Structure 1
Amino acid sequence: MDGKAAPRATGPTQTRLERGRGALGPALELVHTGRAPTRAVLTAELGVTRATAGAVAAELAALGLIRVDARPAAAAGTHGRPSHRLDVAEQGPVALAAQVHADGYRAALVGLGGRIVATSPGCDIIDPDPAQVLGAVVAAGARLLRETGRRCIGAGLAVPSSVAEPEGTALNALHVAWPVGAPVREIFARQVRAAGLGGPAFAGNDVNLAALAEHRHGAGRGARDLLCVATGHRGVGGALVLDGRLHTGSSGLALEVGHLTVNPEGRPCHCGSRGCLDVEADPLALLTAAGREPGPEPSLLDQARALLRAEYAQPRVRAAAGELIDRLGLGLAGLVNILNPDRIILGGLHRELLAADPERLRAVVAERSLWSRNSGGVPIMPCTLDHNSLVGAAELAWQPVLDDPLTALAPPTD
């Protein structure tokens, strides 16, 4: 198809659509997450008739959200007419995704299916005034929208801080030197409106959003209770998906795993304690343990990655990596004992540590975890999505569309 919207359904098809209108959101989510690659699968997953599933798919195509291939090629050795294939529309609307971290910020346009359509060049300067940073990242996103000509359905922001709900305030953005309690969602929404972009604006913790993206589109797909632990540019974060939904606690502050004590005699932590995972297993901790003086560029994360990839064979680097793996394993084991997840995924530098010595990390977790000893171990896997926090930020903006496509995409009224 050429990306143009299909004709809207009429007649008997319209009648079937009225009966299946409540299925539009669930159907879109199934296509969005790759769980309904064909109309036959969509019919079975929704529990509706084939005609109703066809009407629902046609309406989603008319909205410019999905693409229906009515003439797919049959696989070799199969019999009968193949089912219509379903996919997200290649030229459909997008969400503006923004991420701020200790070493800069980036904007991207993300379509359905978690597909990154365009990204802005990363910036490595962070102003202590959140309004300056968020204004700059929204401006970068607005340029991408002008260049691509895409429709924007909303905007999402990932920040390296817990985001308190319902206020949308960043309570501990320590590594970007923002004031405690900065109203990041309000500032971001104001900048989005000032740029003339469509749709609502959202904000969330970067690791929470990474976990959401991985659960829908990456290494966490299919897990029921998913634990994600990651270290990006500074610090360590965690997130939990329970029964398919992101768990944020009563006020958005759940899973502050960075402040688990894993070395009582360890480094002082920003929180006032000592030996927290936040300072014992992040990129700065690796560089320090390996005897390397961090440089001003590239980012600390990139410096730590390069060290592991290029110099892991050196005894001091290997010993430093082993030290971090052991600290990380202690933290993961404690979380396994409390949360009993069915899968653990690791992001940022932790993904590199897992690749460097997977058996050591799994052995530490198994030795210290009651459930791992009794059940053979929890699968520990690397995150698979590039820019997963950006994709997760976009998921926040896409959620109203997934909930109710017709209402979310309706033209604004005066």
Structure 2
Amino acid sequence: MSGKADPRPAGERTTSRARLDRGRGALGPALELVHTGRAPTRAVLTAELGVTRATAGAVAAELEALGLIRVDARPGVAVGSQGRPSHRLQVAEDGPVVLAAQVHADGFRAALVGLGGRIVATAPGCVTVDADPAKVLGSVVEAGAELLTATGRRCVGAGLAVPSAVAEPDGLALNPVHLAWPVGAPVRQIFAQCVRAAGIGGPAFAGNDVNLAALAEHRHGAGRGARDLLCVATGHRGVGGALVLDGRLHTGSSGLALEVGHLTVNPEGRPCHCGSRGCLDVEADPFALLAEAHREPGPEVSLLQQANDLLRTQYADPVVRTAAEALIDRLGLGLAGLVNILNPDRIVLGGLHRTLLEVDPGRLRAVVADRSLWGQSGGVPILPCILDHNSLVGAAELAWQPVLDDPLGALQ
């Protein structure tokens, strides 16, 4: 089973084992409930799983023996409360981790991420990206391996976020236009080879950065509790979108769903990499804001940071405000079209779009409401993403998924 000595008496272990055998199929669902914060106590876990209290206790005990969660059998009693408080459940702070990596137009970053979406350690980000994906992924995995050595943590998998559609089932980066990587680069295979070469345990995965940001926000951030969540974000270059349907990331038949960056929002606008003109990808990203505000991009920091700093420190400048309003109107037009097609119950915005929402929330919401049928009938909540490094956390979610599906099988 877990490989750890069990201090309980033999009779109690036998009874508990029988209960666990009856509830073995609940191990994964139970871990996911604790992982996403939806089962903070054993009482809630019992209700969510639809099992007996004894079975829920046995399941929680096994997850604790695996080193994945902690069970507090004697939580403090709140003042004025009555009755015996339920055992508290939380992810194990000293438990295993996964390696999460992200590559974007302005560099890359590696991190170790535990259950609960908690970033345990990060390596300093690199600010240059080689045209050879093998060199870049080798470097980011090397940085992750150094983190593992420094922390002494057990690694159970690795996940990679890239600014490209990732075609399934082969894990090919089909449009890494902002990285100068070859079209169709086998990023998942290269990443997996680098992970194995570094001696890092567990399987390796790769996905689109905005898809993974949406997954992270749905499980741990502003999208928690939404059934149908639309995420639209612009990071360092370009615009991406993702959709979570009925609690699951929707990637389409081959992983290419929700390429929202190529919605036309300004027919007379800038030429786009896809061959069209005026797409969100080139009309509502950091480079577009700097161009609209007549600011020359500098080499010292990322385009995203330059654009965010401009909005936060110089929004009173009429030129900056006019530029921001132009981007807000284009973004709102794109969101309205998506609302009409997808009918989400919540929208979350990341990167520069989060900052645009912060500086003028009324304008963006008004554009979406005016241009969408569903917006006119009551509106769709539009919220900022709240997780720092949500694409990294989402990359970690890919690596955690086999453990969530089958804790015993994945760890043994």
TM-score category, normalised to shorter length: over 0.9
CA distance in structure 1 between the aligned counterparts of 2:366 and 2:5, rounded to whole angstroms: 54
Output the amino acid matched with 1:61. Answer: E
Output the amino acid matched with 1:161. Answer: S
Does structure 1 residue 343 correspond to structure 2 residue 346? yes
Taking every aligned residue pair, what percent have the same amino acid on both sides? 82
- Is 1:5–1:64's contact at 8 Å kept on the other side of the alignment? no
Given candidates 387, 399, 412, the residue that maps to 2:401 is: 399
TM-superposed CA distance for 1:8, in Å, is 7.1
- Is 1:329–1:361's contact at 8 Å kept on the other side of the alignment? yes
Does structure 1 residue 142 correspond to structure 2 residue 145? yes
Given candidates 232, 236, 253, the residue that maps to 1:250 is: 253
Output the amino acid matched with 1:393. Answer: A
- Is 1:8–1:58's contact at 8 Å kept on the other side of the alignment? no
Output the amino acid matched with 2:387. Answer: L
TM-superposed CA distance for 1:76, in Å, is 1.3
Counterpart residue number, 1:48: 51
Counterpart residue number, 2:382: 380
Given candidates 21, 24, 28, the residue that maps to 2:24 is: 21
CA distance in structure 2 between the aligned counterparts of 1:359 and 1:315, rounded to whole angstroms: 18
CA distance in structure 1 between the aligned counterparts of 2:47 and 2:186, rounded to whole angstroms: 44
CA distance in structure 2 between the aligned counterparts of 1:159 and 1:61, rounded to whole angstroms: 34
CA distance in structure 1 between the aligned counterparts of 2:150 and 2:82, rounded to whole angstroms: 45
Counterpart residue number, 2:196: 193
Which digits, 9 at most, give the CA deviation of each residue in 1:8-36, with x for residues without a partner?
77211111111111100000000000000
User: 1:312-391 maps to which residues of 2 (within 5 A)?
Assistant: 312-374=315-377, 376-391=378-393
With over 3 angstroms needed to count, the CA separation of the structure-2 counterparts of 1:273 and 1:251, relative to structure 1, is same
User: 1:6-405 maps to which residues of 2 (within 5 A)?
Assistant: 7=6, 10-374=13-377, 376-405=378-407
TM-superposed CA distance for 1:322, in Å, is 0.3
Output the amino acid matched with 1:378. Answer: V
Give the count of matched residue pairs: 406
Secondary structure of the residue aligned to 2:178 is helix
- Is 1:6–1:64's contact at 8 Å kept on the other side of the alignment? no
CA distance in structure 2 between the aligned counterparts of 1:181 and 1:312, rounded to whole angstroms: 40
Q: Where in structure 2 are there 5+ consecutive unaligned residues? A: none
Give the alignment's TM-score, normalised by structure 2.
0.98
Q: Where in structure 1 are there 5+ consecutive unaligned residues? A: none
CA distance in structure 2 between the aligned counterparts of 1:99 and 1:76, rounded to whole angstroms: 45
Secondary structure of the residue aligned to 2:237 is coil
- Is 1:344–1:378's contact at 8 Å kept on the other side of the alignment? yes
CA distance in structure 1 between the aligned counterparts of 2:376 and 2:60, rounded to whole angstroms: 47
- Deviating 4+ runs (over 2 angstroms): 4-9
Secondary structure of the residue aligned to 2:23 is helix
TM-superposed CA distance for 1:7, in Å, is 2.7
TM-superposed CA distance for 1:75, in Å, is 1.2
Which digits, 9 at most, give the CA deviation of each residue in 1:322-376, with x for residues without a partner?
00000000000000000000000000000000001000000000000001101x1
With over 3 angstroms needed to count, the CA separation of the structure-2 counterparts of 1:6 and 1:271, relative to structure 1, is farther
TM-superposed CA distance for 1:168, in Å, is 0.2
RMSD of Structure 2 on Structure 1 (CA): 1.0
Secondary structure of the residue aligned to 2:63 is helix
CA distance in structure 1 between the aligned counterparts of 2:131 and 2:5, rounded to whole angstroms: 48
